[in-house]
Amino acid sequence: MRRRRLLYGRRKGPKLSPHKEELRHTLLPELALKLEPGRDPRAYFGEGVHDVWLEVGFGGGEHLLEQARANPRVGLIGAEPYEAGVAKLLSKMVDRDASNIRIHEGDARDIVDALPGASLGRVFILFPDPWPKTRHHKRRFVQMEMLDALARVMKPGAELRIASDDAGYVAWTLERLMAHPGFAWTAHSAADWKSRPPGWPQTRYEAKALHGPPAYLLFVRSGKMTG
């Protein structure tokens, strides 16, 4: 069996505070996504959830929390391999309703592989690691194989939202998505991708804009693929 390529670096960083470490042992088990291959993702949540969205690499969780608050009838699944990011999100969730959030402390591909077809209404890939060195480009999340997998699990008309402040990663992403038959770009002018659209909460990383002005790419599942 071929070993799957890692798309991220180390999972552990500096030692967590006692409070955050405690949340990993108490709150995380309540919110952890218990994956079952082929299961309708709505079943991971309580009654009243009519759609499910996935955020790939939620960082500190700002965007995930805001989307969950603004869309109480949507189930939000967040994937994040870094313990510090998960702990930061957990610290923000104490004493608040988290019934429509589930956390996967690991590779987002685990979730995509387990989902049935046409089961997600929206996918977010916000400021992923650009892996700027050429020899590391194979570790970028946006690959044609990954787009095939996302096209399978996204409903026709579902949104794929991608943001990056790295010009090289933006060009890489556009090249692959424009060539993929399962997605259609919604932009009509530069203003459509140079400005953050309404209903697109800002992330902590975005506020820093480390590499340049962010680009906001909105694609929809076009329905041209049937696989």
pLDDT tens for each residue of 185-226: 999 988 888 888 888 888 777 766 666 789 999 999 996 554
Q: Which of 110, 129, 148, 192 is catalytic?
A: 129
Residue 110 a catalytic site member:
no
Tokens 């060539």 map to which residue?
A: 179
* Residue 13 counted as domain residue: no
Residue 155 resides in a domain: yes
205 φ/ψ angles, rounded to the nearest 5 degrees: -65, -40
**Is residue 8 included in any domain, yes or no?**
no
Distance CA 137, CA 31 (A): 33
Number of domains in the chain: 1
| pLDDT reported for residue 11 | 59
In 10 A of CB 218, how many CB atoms? 17
Q: 72-101 pLDDT, tens per residue?
A: 999 999 999 999 999 999 999 887 888 899
Task: Name the pLDDT band for 10 (thresholds 50, 70, 90).
Answer: low
Supply the pLDDT for residue 12: 66
Q: Are 187 and 153 in contact (CB under 8 A)?
A: no
Q: Could you tell me which residue, 45 or 223, shows the higher pLDDT? A: 45
Q: Does 86 map to a domain?
A: yes
- The CA distance from 124 to 58, in Å, is 9
Tell me the residue type at 151: A
Cβ–Cβ < 8 Å for 19, 86: no
Q: CA 226, CA 35: separation in Å to the nearest integer?
A: 24
| pLDDT at residue 69 greater than cutoff 50 | yes
Is residue 10 one of the residues assigned to a domain?
A: no
What pLDDT shows up at residue 209?
A: 62
| Span 99-158, pLDDT tens digits | 899 999 999 999 999 999 999 999 999 999 886 787 878 889 999 999 999 999 999 999
Domain that residue 72 falls in: 18-221
Instruction: Classify residue 7: in a domain, yes or no.
Output: no
* CATH number of the domain that residue 210 is part of: 3.40.50.150
